[in-house]
Amino acid sequence: MKIWKYFVLCCCICFAFPVLADDIASECEGPYKGKKIAPEQLKEILKQHKELLEEKNYITKEYTKDNRYANLCGANLKGADLKGANLERVYFEGANLDEANLEGAYLSSAELKKADLYEANLKGANLQLANLKGAFLIKANLEGAYLAGANLEGAKLPLAELKKANLNSANLKTANLKKSNFEGANFKRANLEEANLEEAILINTNLLGANLTNTNLSYANLTKANLKNAILKNSYFLGVNLDKADFFPKSNSYPDPISFSTTKNLLHSNYYNPEYGAPVIQKLLADYKKLGIRHMERLLTYMMKKEQRKADMTKEWGWDKIGAIANLVLFEFPSKYGYKPQFALTILIFSIFIFSFFYWVGLKLGMQVKVAWEPILLTTKRKNLTTTIKLPYFYYTIQLKNPKQSWWYSELKLIRLALHISLNSAFKIGWKGLDFGTWMKKLQKREYHLETPNAWIKSICTVQSLLGIYLVALWFATQFGRPFDY
């Protein structure tokens, strides 16, 4: 082997040795490792540990050599009853605490690294500043537990119960929290970087200032959650429920836009501040424009426009408030600023039925409907010249009531005629080649002409025609364009 190969090998050993040494040092060598401790013996161990704590204000490495120090590293404490016990600074690294009862126990600054706490009961326990790095807390009950400043890096907590738990400033980096219940929990300034919160229940949780960088929140329920100043850089929001959540994350920290497009109830979240707007929403809107995700572009545009309109409505009477009312009536209600362009056509269809009622009343009051007969063609010949003359339409009045017909048949005839008149009035106005009224006339066998002594019927016809052309124009503009581009 050449000299340079020996040199590379020596360097690798030198760099790897400190890491290996740390791993070796982390292996506990407690007196009870792998042993099952009897309840009386455990009671005596904890009694001596308490005496040591009372004697010394804090425990250091020097005092851990004291025989009274509770070194339960690797001990088998499965099913142990430690309810309300004082376990401050007790050394539980690698210990088996499966199904143990630790309800209300005081575990402040305790060492629980890689401890096995499967289905353990830690309800109301005090775990402040405890080290639970890599601990197994699968299906553990931590309801109401106090975990402020605790280290849960890489801990396994799937299906765990942490309802109303206090995790203020706790470190949960890379922790597995899948399907866990955190309803009402406090994650203020907690570190959840790269944590797995898939399908987790985070209803009414406080995530103020929490670090959720690269966190997986797929299908999590964040209803009424507080995300003010939370860091959401590249966080994964696939199918997340944000109903009534305070979505005010820290600026310049944006979630993954692709997964965020699948969120639920974003429209019902609190996302706009009148003072500084919604910078995160604006940034996401710009991203969706570049990515071509049209439905999210429409949604975020509507969200921003709606909140701006609400802000203008709160102002005193002036042009801003008048403009806000106009936006509400003309744009927000019929199309939601382009978010629901088809709604304009829905209004148009319903308006045809609504206006038909007024025409039905008009027919009842004596409005006449005349139908044009086929035009008469007269042909004359003079020598070698043939001339054809087209006479004007001949109109005849439709008989609305016929004594020979039953009353229900006459009423049905009136309703059908009223609908026909309403349909023609709705599409009466057009522009250039896009004239629906002309197209509909060509589809009819006869040309209809209305005569009424009531001026209000004519006014209703005019209003319906204007409404029809406006709704068609609004649908066309919002369906194929961006008239409300933000």
Of 188-197, 300-309, 381-390, the least confident: 381-390
Give the closest residue to 73 by CA, choosing from 117, 113, 33: 33
Q: Could you give the angle at which helices 407-426 and 436-443 cross, rounded to 10 degrees? A: 140
Distance of alpha carbon 312 from alpha carbon 22, whole angstroms: 63
**Of 248, 237, 244, which Cα lies nearest the Cα of 273?**
248
Q: What are the tens digits of pLDDT across the range 231-284?
A: 999 999 999 999 999 999 998 888 999 999 999 999 999 998 877 788 889 999
Mean pLDDT of the region 320-349: 93
- Long-range Cβ contacts of 59-67 (<8 Å, 24+ apart): 59/89, 59/109, 64/91
**Residues of the chain with pLDDT > 70: what percent?**
78
Phi then psi for residue 368, to 5 deg, are -100, 145
Taking residue 447's Cβ as centre, other Cβ atoms within 10 Å add up to 13
Confidence at residue 436, expressed as pLDDT on a 0 to 100 scale: 65
pLDDT at 376: 47
Average pLDDT on 295-301 reads 94
Confidence (pLDDT) at 124: 96
Beta bridge partners of 337: none
CA distance 194 to 214: 5
In this structure, are residues 352 and 420 in contact, taking their beta carbons and an 8 Å threshold? no
Mean pLDDT (whole number) for 319-341: 92
Query: What pLDDT does 49 receive?
Result: 87
pLDDT at 346 exceeding the cut of 50: yes
Residue 368 has pLDDT above 70, yes or no: no
The mean pLDDT of 146-174, rounded to a whole number, is 97
**pTM of the predicted structure, to 2 decimals:** 0.78
Distance CA 67, CA 48 (A): 9
Compute and round to an integer the Cα radius of gyration of the chain.
Answer: 39
pLDDT band of residue 58 (cuts 50, 70, 90) is low
Would you place residue 391 in the very low, low, confident or very high pLDDT band (cuts 50, 70, 90)?
Answer: very low
Sign, Cα dihedral of 376, 382, 386, 387: negative
Segments making up each domain of the chain, as ranges: 343-480
Both ends of the chain: CA-CA distance in Å?
68
